[in-house]
Structure 1
Amino acid sequence: MAQMVSFAEIEAAAQARHPDVVARLATVRTPDELAAIPDDRWLSAIVRRIFEAGFVWRVIEQKWPGFEAVFAQFDPVRLAMADDHFYEQVLADARIIRNRQKVMAVADNAEFVLARSEQHGGFGRFVACWPCEDVVGLWKVFADEGARLGGNSAALVLRRLGYDTFILSDDVVHGLLRYGLIDRTPTGWRQKRQIQDIFLQWKQDTGRPLAHLSLTLACAVG
């Protein structure tokens, strides 16, 4: 690993570029709060991320009440059991973005949420009990067991619902490169775990959540 940079240096750069950086920091929920989030809200966040990917987020936000109605408030049991006729009706409904591949991924992700929920007594409990020092491992579970949840999608879903994770956004990767902590854009799980080690060291040094460290680094360069 490259020689670590003091996070105080990064924080100073972030505050110089964005004096409001503290106001931008994400809310981080406690394990009990995460465990209390019902399965339908996890599935809603997953599907929202899938439809946001490669699309204008503002449009998805405006249409989201329609998505909630069309997809039965994201009840994972109902969506996992729904037949092809149900999804064909969904694809004909103008209240959503009618992308067939993304629509059909809803059923797969409903099954993912249900399976982990049944194993752990709730999908939120599964997330809350995951080892906090292995967020990349949790991303991999989402990518392997869910549908269309590669790249930054898992981290973005988790961040939306308050799980403490860093995100490898373009600005974060640029920051890691700029401060000499990595020498290339990460592509594989091994490289992502090496970056995780950097963030965990900063967390130990500062006592701050990974989500705050990640956003501060992004603000230092972007």
Structure 2
Amino acid sequence: MKRYWQVSLLNLLSLVLALSLAACAGALRWDPLTYTVEEGDTLYSIAFRHGLDYRALAEWNGIGSNYLIYPGDELVLSRPPAGVSPEQVAEVREQSADREAGRSSASSGDARASGRSRGQGSGTQSMPPRGDIDWQWPLEGEVLNQFGEGSMARGIQIAAEEGSDVHAAASGRVVYTGSGLIGYGKLIIIKHDDVYLSAYGHNQDILVEEGDDVDVGERIGRVGLGRGNRSMLHFEIRAEGQAVDPMRYLSD
């Protein structure tokens, strides 16, 4: 009987070891979407581009609450599976960086043109309006395309005369200004709280800088030319990284 228990215990330990090794191997085979940080990127702009919550993106990559990133950093764009340690995440990022460095110059150029990521989240999702943010229209004009329509389905396009003032739809802090996101022209992103961001694309001029605090209705830009060489503002609201219908939030 004693020998039987010894053999059973040995078998059990072997099984536990095998399962542990299998789990580690599975974790190391985790092959997430990745993105190589470029000059001018911010954590907010990368999260915005891929339809992610900036806080989740920071958590997955071990980025502190200052959200600092640097050109050349390799970021994973999906949540690590259960049981994957920070060290394993770092190993996956390092392996991805090595693969990126080994690509040909032509391949690198193609990757830059598509955002240098291996896939992008589409994410359009309806969420209930929040009553604690005083949303206002960024400008007056005809809505050319509703949410979910056309090639810029994540927001709405508002027709306005070129050079018209663009106003902050709610109070917050400017977290991105620039033209690094393909399809948005000169873009402004404002963080309103831990959940909501708003975005203003196709500006002719940007009148604020990253880090500026703005009040609702404050002038932040001027309308430029959008798709079809037509003067318009592209406007989005994001909730936890997901695009939501702005018409459900804007006052009549």
Task: Sort the TM-score into its range (normalised by shorter chain).
Answer: under 0.3
Work out which of the two has the higher radius of gyration on C-alpha atoms and give 1 or 2: 2
Higher helix share: 1
- Give TM-score scaled by structure 1 length: 0.27
- Give TM-score scaled by structure 2 length: 0.25
